Structure 1
């Protein structure tokens, strides 16, 4: 339906009236006194002390007040839904561009990425490769895709540039030219004739469960080719797995920002091997014996929970250190990211042992960690948007390419 200029104004007025009603019906407006107190104290110079604002325990910042204010909005999901309705009607596809969220005409959320020189990444990878070569440990760089294979998508759909794929092209070309083994999953997607859009959730930046299974098979083939493994690749044949499907059941992390009323809900598939498995999982108290089923926390699949409050279904698969008692060879360290929640469990079915490390959460020495691990292979298994993160000290992924 085309919304006329007059209709847009009418919708905007209705939206503001509904927003005001929701705001007054909550007690959020009572925080105005605190915010005004903060502004008065700030204008006087110096930090704002707790005594200047009721119910504060220490010095106050505007960020803290904004967080408290957002938390006080009892109808926050409703407000998001109202905003989503308006954004959809008015086709506000780049409204959340400031936080990296763009919505295509069919409700598919994508993100733009800035250019990266790749110098830091290249230097760190090559230094790391030299260290691993001295230890006799294989290194493979696995490039996991973002939600589109062609950066022209952004120029065509939103009139801006995105460099996610170009950054990856540059880095992979540099490290492959310097002797690093590379598995570029984008190439595998094209070889298999897959549709990249079908591999990802519409409302979340993560890929689907079956995409993780598919990728595990491609990486296993790469281990056979590059590292002399002898993994039975039929372990990754979809016909050997059982699928449990839910339709319109959960809302991804990005979808919670723009509203289900704008982008809808995502489907979900839980995937389990149709064959017996024998796996031990590393726990704080030691290893616990179990099976593939123990990777999965099925309590997350709760259809009674509000989609804005429910945990992300993507994280129902654990990403942890395991020993696979059905395999006799291979001890791999995966330096990965959150995509690997649905990749590592499947990859582990083909090798004896897999350890996982996310460097953004790691405080120790990576090289000491490796020296104590007796690994034969290390996978740097990164999604493309990790490239360039070191250019921004505020990024949560700032340390992902620091391999010291």
Structure 2
């Protein structure tokens, strides 16, 4: 009995020492950023304040990615197709997905009403509202999940939503249509480790938007197919250089590492790009790759660093507000994207056929979006959220609703 007690005592002692050392190392690692988060006062609520501190703690855990890699390697050895209680799952091709248990599409009538109200409250009758549906990573007719992996019904929710918009006579463009005939292999449409489409797929989406708008509104955008021709663009391949948001949760031992393609024009371009966020604001001027592409993520090969997220090299990621002015096309369209992150590279490419492109991200923009629309000269307003983001928080277009 005494021997058993001594063993338990020693084990407990080692465990407590480990916790003490690990906690001390964590404090040393995160002290400066945690101190900054504690002192931060420009927050709207106590919940936001606590979330900010929690985020800094989680971001700066000592040896975080070694722990993630060890966990991912064990999951791979066990042959698991889901991790963290189905937070991330793997399809039959090895691509990672966010999913959840569902047995039917989510209700969308309330967000249809929100979009209908926005359409009615746009004062300028010449400003057209379009819903731009970007594709879900689960591609109907192609993607398959292993047995036992839940399906989220994102595509069925999107179908239901677009049907409701059609009943309300609100225009839409569905980029899921024809994606399997795009000429891009199914395995190459989305990153393995991220929920975003690849840049080549986003470029294809840009061409589809131009084609649809010419057909719907009798426009003459890119009549010679110059701007939508991929042969007029440089493509730089970065092999094994990118791990997306899902891959960072489980590690490269489980997921592998994605390649990344940087696409930018060969032809003459000249832009002003203004952006503002909670940290800074400023204007960048020059060619497409000088003003609309952040160099830092491209040059960095720390695949786990948020700053090296190559997808967000375009337009410097999700800015609350951004404005692209194309000096080479002063008489082009003036458009607004109210968008999530899938629209970022598409909007960058679409700027080639526009004079001005404005972008608002509802997750970060603190102003009144309807007020911005009604006080800005616009030809088109695109509301563009992927199927997974058809939820109420993305459809609050005014401060009082």
Structure 2: where are the runs of 5+ without partners? 1-13, 27-37, 40-45
Q: Distance in 2 between matches of 1:90 and 1:222?
A: 47
Q: Distance in 2 between matches of 1:119 and 1:364?
A: 25
- TM value normalised by structure 1: 0.77
Q: How far 1:230 sits from its partner (Å)? A: 1.5
Q: How far 1:291 sits from its partner (Å)? A: 1.7
Give every structure 1 segment of 4 or more consecutive aligned residues whose post-TM-superposition deviation is greater than 6 Å. 61-69
Q: Distance in 2 between matches of 1:329 and 1:68?
A: 43
Superposed, 1:370-381 pairs within 5 Å as 370-381=373-384
Q: How far 1:228 sits from its partner (Å)? A: 3.5
- Counterparts in 2 of 1:336 and 1:67: CA distance versus 1, 3 Å: closer
Q: How far 1:188 sits from its partner (Å)? A: 2.7
Structure 1: where are the runs of 5+ without partners? 1-19, 33-55, 391-397
**1:335 alignment partner, one of 338, 344, 366:** 338
- Counterparts in 2 of 1:30 and 1:290: CA distance versus 1, 3 Å: closer
Q: Distance in 2 between matches of 1:240 and 1:107?
A: 33
Kindly indicate whether residue 153 of structure 2 is the aligned counterpart of residue 163 of structure 1: yes
Q: Distance in 2 between matches of 1:62 and 1:381?
A: 31
Native 8 Å contact 2:241 2:303 kept in 1: no
SS in 2 for 1:360: coil
Kindly indicate whether residue 62 of structure 2 is the aligned counterpart of residue 74 of structure 1: yes
Kindly indicate whether residue 287 of structure 2 is the aligned counterpart of residue 291 of structure 1: yes
Corresponding position of 1:356: 359
Q: How far 1:362 sits from its partner (Å)? A: 2.1
Corresponding position of 1:313: 310
Cα displacement string for residues 225-277 of structure 1 (whole angstroms, at most 9, x for unaligned residues): 22333211331111111111011112111101111000011100111111111
Q: How far 1:365 sits from its partner (Å)? A: 2.0
Q: How far 1:103 sits from its partner (Å)? A: 1.7
**2:271 alignment partner, one of 265, 279, 302:** 279
Superposed, 1:2-401 pairs within 5 Å as 24=18, 27-29=21-23, 70=58, 73-98=61-86, 100-112=87-99, 114=102, 115-132=105-122, 135-150=125-140, 156-192=146-182, 194-232=184-222, 233-282=225-274, 288-293=284-289, 294-305=291-302, 307-308=304-305, 310-318=307-315, 320-327=322-329, 328-387=331-390, 389-390=391-392, 398=393, 400-401=394-395
Q: How far 1:105 sits from its partner (Å)? A: 4.4
Q: Distance in 2 between matches of 1:70 and 1:371?
A: 41
When structure 1 is superposed on structure 2, of 225-234 and 366-375 the one drifting more is 225-234
When structure 1 is superposed on structure 2, of 152-161 and 121-130 the one drifting more is 152-161
SS in 1 for 2:122: helix
Q: How far 1:187 sits from its partner (Å)? A: 0.5
Q: Distance in 2 between matches of 1:286 and 1:304?
A: 26
Q: How far 1:283 sits from its partner (Å)? A: 5.0
SS in 1 for 2:197: coil
SS in 1 for 2:234: strand
SS in 2 for 1:85: helix
Native 8 Å contact 1:103 1:109 kept in 2: yes
Cα displacement string for residues 323-349 of structure 1 (whole angstroms, at most 9, x for unaligned residues): 112222211011111112211110000
Q: Distance in 1 between matches of 2:306 and 2:338?
A: 30
Q: How far 1:27 sits from its partner (Å)? A: 2.4
Query: What RMSD in Å do the two structures reach over aligned CA positions?
Result: 3.4
- TM value normalised by structure 2: 0.78
Give the structure with the larger helix fraction: 1
- Counterparts in 2 of 1:73 and 1:280: CA distance versus 1, 3 Å: closer
Q: How many residue pairs are counted as aligned between the two chains?
A: 352
When structure 1 is superposed on structure 2, of 237-246 and 70-79 the one drifting more is 70-79
Q: Distance in 2 between matches of 1:65 and 1:335?
A: 29
- Counterparts in 2 of 1:342 and 1:157: CA distance versus 1, 3 Å: farther
- Counterparts in 2 of 1:197 and 1:157: CA distance versus 1, 3 Å: farther
Corresponding position of 1:6: none
Q: Distance in 2 between matches of 1:183 and 1:71?
A: 38
Q: How far 1:216 sits from its partner (Å)? A: 1.0
